[in-house]
């Protein structure tokens, strides 16, 4: 038994050491899609209020033309959207210290966060930390840290695959392609919008897993109410908009309990969720990612919602 325990301990130490070496010693992918988060944070820190700060997942990244919103409102726009797998809590907590009086914060929370607690996923959250720095874990809660821990082997595996490809590609960085869309840091513009996908044709959209039968996480709603109050204390106005979604994706992922939960904390949707859907033909590669036509429709809808709050001329064009 003692010999077995020693072997088990040796295996565990070897496994941990191997994973740690792959994570700590392999250089960061400088063009990794998630590294765009660092660029977004720099813009958030560098721009002056009043600004429009839009926080969400990849739906926000893939469905907004911030330049048009900036032109219509005469305000700086910061698109913080990146990936639903990060979890909305991470984006909200990390952005909070840089919110300033006069900012308008638009929350586009993808529906899955309401059921999962907004804590991110093991497949994505540790990958983000590996690209932007592990010290960002300091504000995480226990559920987020569990997801990070569970996903560490996948980070090591990803780095191992990058090393294996190096003799062929001669680079450890993700390379964009001209023949098909690739998720990269370089695909974002200065505002934080993902724009490289707009030149490609629609790809088959994964409908995802139905969540309409699930129950809204009460702890997440409590967190959201508290966090919005912190944003408001910093002098920001918070507007919650439903995420843009293809009609098929909306039917799978939304239920009325979400809207009721938001109303219960005094922060109802500024626009009915069904009015933020687009035809399925406007989906790029998922029901949450929009092509050029979908991006235009969504941008006009968001602007139409924001402009009345700015006491400026109503911006027409969206249906």
| ω into 50 cis (within 30 of 0) | yes
* CA dist., res. 284 & res. 19, Å (int): 35
Summarised one tens digit per residue, pLDDT across range 179-210 is 899 999 999 999 999 999 999 999 876 666 66
C-beta separation of 82 from 183 below 8 A:
no
Overall size of the chain counted in residues: 319
Q: What is the pTM of this model?
A: 0.90
Picking from 104, 92, 100, the residue whose alpha carbon sits closest to that of residue 220 is: 92
* CA dist., res. 308 & res. 315, Å (int): 9
Cα distance between the two ends of the chain: 71
Strands 76-79 and 104-108: unpaired
Statement: residue 6 has pLDDT above 60: no
- Under the banding of pLDDT at 50, 70 and 90, the label for residue 308 is confident
Q: What is the pLDDT of residue 169?
A: 84
C-beta separation of 291 from 198 below 8 A:
yes
C-beta separation of 215 from 115 below 8 A:
yes
Statement: residue 316 has pLDDT above 60: no
C-beta separation of 280 from 297 below 8 A:
no
* CA dist., res. 296 & res. 318, Å (int): 9
C-beta separation of 113 from 243 below 8 A:
no
* CA dist., res. 278 & res. 6, Å (int): 59
**What is the DSSP code (8-state) at residue 119?**
-
Mean pLDDT over all residues of the chain?
A: 87
**Range from 3-7, 21-25, 246-250, 280-284 carrying the lowest mean pLDDT:** 3-7
* CA dist., res. 126 & res. 131, Å (int): 9
Statement: residue 162 has pLDDT above 80: yes
- Under the banding of pLDDT at 50, 70 and 90, the label for residue 315 is very low
Q: What is the pLDDT of residue 241?
A: 97
| CATH code for the part of the protein at 30-118+171-310 | 3.40.50.1110
Q: What is the pLDDT of residue 79?
A: 98
Domains of the chain, residue spans: 30-118+171-310
**Range from 22-36, 159-173, 302-316 carrying the lowest mean pLDDT:** 302-316
Q: Which residues neighbour 115 within 8 Å (Cβ) at sequence distance 6 or greater?
A: 211, 214, 215, 216, 217
């Amino acid at each position: 038994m003692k010999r077995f325990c020693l072997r088990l301990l040796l295996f565990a130490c070897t496994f941990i050491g191997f994973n740690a070496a792959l994570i700590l010693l392999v250089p960061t992918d400088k063009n990794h899609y998630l590294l765009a988060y660092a660029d977004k944070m720099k813009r958030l820190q560098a721009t002056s209020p009043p600004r429009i700060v839009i926080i969400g997942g990849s739906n926000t990244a893939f469905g907004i033309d911030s330049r048009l919103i900036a032109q219509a409102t005469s305000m700086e726009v910061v698109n913080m959207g990146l990936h639903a797998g990060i979890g909305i809590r991470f984006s909200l907590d990390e952005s909070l210290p840089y919110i300033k009086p006069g900012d308008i914060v638009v929350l586009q929370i993808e529906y899955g966060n309401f059921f999962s607690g907004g804590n991110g996923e093991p497949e994505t959250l540790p990958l983000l930390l590996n690209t932007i720095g592990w010290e960002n874990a300091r504000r995480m809660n226990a559920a987020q840290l569990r997801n990070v821990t569970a996903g560490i082997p996948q980070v090591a595996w990803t780095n191992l695959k990058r090393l294996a490809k190096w003799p062929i590609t001669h680079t450890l960085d993700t390379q964009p392609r001209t023949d098909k869309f690739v998720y990269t840091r370089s695909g974002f513009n200065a505002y934080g919008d993902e724009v490289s996908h707009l030149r490609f044709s629609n790809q088959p959209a994964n409908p995802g897993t139905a969540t309409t039968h699930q129950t809204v996480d009460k702890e997440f709603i409590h967190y959201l109410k508290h966090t919005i109050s912190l944003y408001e204390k910093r002098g920001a106005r918070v507007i919650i908009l439903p995420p843009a979604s293809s009609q098929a994706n909306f039917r799978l992922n939304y239920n009325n309990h979400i809207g009721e939960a938001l109303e219960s904390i005094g922060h109802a949707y500024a626009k009915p969720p069904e009015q933020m859907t687009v035809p399925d033909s406007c989906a790029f590669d998922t029901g949450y990612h929009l092509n050029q036509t979908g991006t235009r429709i969504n941008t006009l809808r968001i602007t139409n919602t924001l402009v009345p709050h700015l006491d400026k001329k109503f911006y027409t064009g969206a249906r």
